[in-house]
Structure 1
Amino acid sequence: MKSDTAQSVSRRKFLKGGALAAGAAAGTLAAPAVVTAQSPIVLKMQSSWPASDVFQEMAQQYCDRVAKMSGDRLRIDLLPAGAVVGAFQVQDACHDGIIDCAHTVAVYWYGKHKAASFFGTGPVFGGSAAHMLAWYYAGGGADLYRELTQDVLGLNIVGFFGFPMPAQPLGWFKNEVKSAQDMNGLKYRTVGLAADLMQSMGLSVTQLPGGEIVPAMERGVIDAFEFNNPTSDMRFGAQDVAKNYMLSSYHQASESFEFIFNRDRFESLDPDLQAILQYAVEAASTSNYVLAMDQYSSDLQKLQEGGVNVVRTPTSVLEAQLTAWDKLIEQLGQDSINQKIMDSQKEWTERVVFFDLMNAPDYKLAYNHYFPGKITF
């Protein structure tokens, strides 16, 4: 039998040995595993905008949000118009898989089917871009878009919409427009159903991408034009070729950005990444609107200070546009998908815009109260 001292020493040796063994095992388990970082998935996106345009900045806001929301697992390589294909060809490029995605507006492919313009530059029946974006998401617009692009046109794409744009100005003119007759015979740039509308009002219309507008004006190909907003127009140099800027129009009272994805590429991604691509559109919609309100108002002020005659389009011209829309709506309704979309939009706006107009206070009244004399119409 061992003595108490011998037992104590033996126990100390055992505990010490066990501790060393446990430490060695722990050291083995704690050794860092060799992990190879997974490269992010990179999607190639081309926009329909020149690199210098504010719309390209808005597209980049979307790309930045996708990267952050995905923890940098997904990145979008954003290219300007013309980098791979022309501004009006991005939908075809997505369909064919030449690019993975595009940042554009639906009106740019209305040559395939005029119904495309209902998702950008349609009659909208008194609705704003915010009303029509709500129609897309809650009023059946998304299903009609899918039906048009996939069932009617057989396109291999999926798409989402974001950023309800402020109504587009009537545009830039060498002489101030005081009546609809002043526009008769003008060579004018616009796109989509707005081209049909203006042609019916006696204008000769040319459809051009944004980057080609001012050069066309300088060469005399056109003698009046619209693009979208004060910031884009100023960056194009519109103020160098015309001095009369007419705000307010029904030719493009509603438009939102279209985010197009090659369907096969989109569906190949994990569900969470698909969700990020979809819902980042909503996140960017807010940031786009904030940027627009800041930049558009600031640049309009700069245009005025630079000698541009900024005026509101006369009511008589707006009324002439509505009359022209009435005739165009009747013609468009001869196509079943056109009529289906217009019926859906009209039903939506009758209910939603009624609420909005009844509920909204008179903002002009309040503005005049605090800033008397600034608004003269």
Structure 2
Amino acid sequence: MKAVFSAACAAVIALSGPALAKTTLNMASTYPGSLTQLGTLGKAIEESIDKMSGGELEVKFFEPGALVPALEVFDAVSNGSVDAAWSTPGYWQGKEPALALFAAVPFGPDVREYTAWLFYGGGEEMMQEIYEPYNIHSIICAVIAPEASGWFREEITSVDDLKGLKMRFFGLGAKVMQQLGVDTQLLAGGDIYPALERGTIDATEFSQPAIDLNLGFYQVAKHYYFPGWHQQSTAFELMINKDRWDALSEAEQAMINTACRANVAMGMAEGEAIQVDALAELEEKGVTIHRWPDEILATFEETWNRVAEEEAANDEKFKKAWESLSTFRENYKRWGDVGYIQ
């Protein structure tokens, strides 16, 4: 009887087939998982892929520093010491200047126009071509609405007031500020408040009101400037080691792509929804909300146009991406002018 039972069990196991092996991608993050949007959208990827795959595909979120320091995830993904990373292409412009154009563009497109270029104008494919020699496959995995453009201890009344300031600044906007006499530094989110509090930096920009509120900059600086001319929309990425990406099944790749596209929509909507209350709370805490005077904005824009020309002249990949985006924007303008109430 025991032999018959054992044979029956063996038959059932054989008919059921081999158990599927779980695929896990360890994902280092540039942002803390608790940080509004910047981190929580990375956590959302972990959760949505787990649900879509029924637990068979895991993209496991790790806090900054748990696997590698926040701003070292590029090299870690490239060499395969981590499988994936949650970040933004703008952090890597020191390695490839063109990558900054896939994160945020000064005086650039809003989130509608930006995603149109990224997904249907060849932007994301061009970005992936730039990453390929580094053995990285990167997917645009979130795009958020405009940011603020600076926290200052004192009111800024002219461009001359910026000269000599030490300021944390991100992306291509930092090159604009440098030409205006600002000593810019690129710091990870968690390092900004201590630097501002100690006086290592005099001013900072980081993100949207709801995010900046979370980081407490208002405790040190009370003058908050808009609009975010340097980041009218900001894209984030899921970077995956190319060997690991190629080894995934088509179904696994499709789940990751689908999760990222859904994350883009969620990030856009959430970012618009949460700013009003954040602005009100900041004002209650004694923050003065400023809008840059037209003449200062004009100076920023003139300087940016000069920076863009210089970057394109110095780097072929930047030139190619910049010409692609500029052509798309020229063509889009017709639709933007007639389709939307100005």
The two structures have a TM-score, normalised by structure 2, of: 0.91
Larger CA deviation: 252-261 vs 221-230: 252-261
- Residue 60 of structure 1 is matched in structure 2 by 43
- Indicate the residue corresponding to 1:198 in structure 2: 177
Aligned residue number for residue 239 of structure 2:
260
Give CA-to-partner distance per residue, 1:329-348, whole Å, 9 cap, x none. Answer: 22112122111111100000
Tell me the number of residue pairs that the alignment of Structure 1 and Structure 2 aligns: 331
The separation in 1 between residues aligned to 2:20 and 2:131, in whole angstroms, is 35
Aligned residue runs from structure 1 range 40-55, under 5 A: 40-54=22-36, 55=38
- Please give the alpha-carbon distance, in whole angstroms, between the structure 2 residues aligned to 1:182 and 1:332: 26
* In structure 1, distance between residues paired with 2:19 and 2:277: 45
User: What secondary structure, in the 3-state scheme, does the structure 2 residue paired with 1:175 have?
Assistant: coil
Shift of 1:121: 2.7
Unpaired stretches in structure 1, ≥5 consecutive residues = 1-27, 363-377
- The 5-angstrom pairing of residues 202-213 of structure 1 reads 202-213=181-192
Greater displacement, 179-188 / 102-111: 179-188
Other structure's SS at 1:85 match: coil
Aligned residue number for residue 252 of structure 2: 273
**Equivalent position of 1:78 in the other structure:** 61
Residue 4 of structure 2 is matched in structure 1 by none
Match of 1:102 in 2: 85
1:351 corresponds, among 309, 331, 336, to 331
The structural deviation recorded for 1:31 is 11
Match of 1:292 among 258, 271, 278: 271
Corresponding residue for 2:121? 139
Greater mean alpha carbon deviation, residues 318-327 or residues 284-293 = 284-293
Moved more, 184-193 or 263-272: 184-193
**Is 1:339 paired with 2:319?**
yes
Separation of aligned partners in 2, 1:163 and 1:50: 16
The residue aligned with 1:177 is 156
Distance in structure 2 (CA, Å) of the matches to 1:102 and 1:289: 21
What SS does structure 1 have at the residue aligned with 2:31?
coil
Alpha-carbon contact 1:127-1:353 (below 8 Å) kept: no
Instruction: Return the index of the structure with the highest Cα Rg.
Output: 1
Q: Name the Cα RMSD after superposition.
A: 2.1
CA distance in 1, matches of 2:9, 2:94: 63
How far apart are the structure 2 equivalents of 1:304 and 1:50?
25
Tell me the amino acid that sits aligned with residue 136 of structure 1. L
Specify every segment of 5 or more residues in structure 2 that has no aligned partner in the other structure, as ranges.
1-6
The answer to whether the 8 A contact 2:167-2:182 is kept is yes
Q: Displacement of 1:163 after TM fit?
A: 2.6
Counterpart in the other structure of 1:248:
227
Q: Secondary structure at the match of 1:250?
A: coil
**Superposition TM-score, scaled by structure 1 size:** 0.83
Deviations along 1:163-213, whole A, 9 cap, x unmatched?
A: 322122111011222332222221111122221111011211111111111
Identity of aligned residues (%): 31
How many Å apart are 1:305 and its aligned residue? 1.7
Letter in 1 for 2:201: I
Tell me, in whole angstroms, the C-alpha distance in 2 between the residues paired with 1:277 and 1:180: 45
Helix, strand or coil: the match of 1:77? strand
User: 1:338 corresponds to which letter in structure 2?
Assistant: F
Q: Cα 1:312–1:116, aligned 2, differ >3 Å: closer, same or farther?
A: same
Q: Offset at 1:44? A: 0.4
Give the aligned residue type for 2:61: L
Match of 1:164 in 2: 143
Equivalences for residues 321-332 of structure 1 within 5 A: 321-332=300-311
In the aligned structure 1, how far is the partner of 2:80 from the partner of 2:25?
11
